[in-house]
Amino acid sequence: MKRIIIRIISMLMLLGTFYIIFSFSAQDGIESGSLSNKVTTVFVHHFPYTKNLSIETQNKLIEHGEPIVRKLAHFSIYTVVGMCIMAFLCTFPFKLRTRLEISLLVGFIYAISDEFHQSFVPR
């Protein structure tokens, strides 16, 4: 019974994460860039080592930091996908290697489908 509950919860978390990725991927380039810029700006203005720098220096940090924030967001959300898949697969009697292979395969297939979805979204 406990395994079934864990399966359901991990599958719901995985589907929720897929929905979040799909929602972000549906944003156009301006909307997506704006969100990344906001996150980077908040970080630069509140981080103790950067908040007291000149406005010009802060703007340069924001400009150069935005692509890093975007890459970290991608890495983080796909890490969550992998964790959800592994949590689901751990409720089955598979070997660790098989779980890892399935997790990588599902993550790869979803990433490809996400890129395909993005091809229909205006830049």
Rounded distance, CA 59 to CA 103, Å? 39
Angle at 101 between CA 90 and CA 23, to 5 degrees: 80
Rounded distance, CA 24 to CA 118, Å? 10
The distance in angstroms from the start CA to the end CA of the chain is: 47
pLDDT, tens only, 12-28: 999 999 999 999 999 98
pLDDT, tens only, 26-81: 998 888 888 999 999 999 999 898 988 999 999 999 999 999 999 999 999 999 99
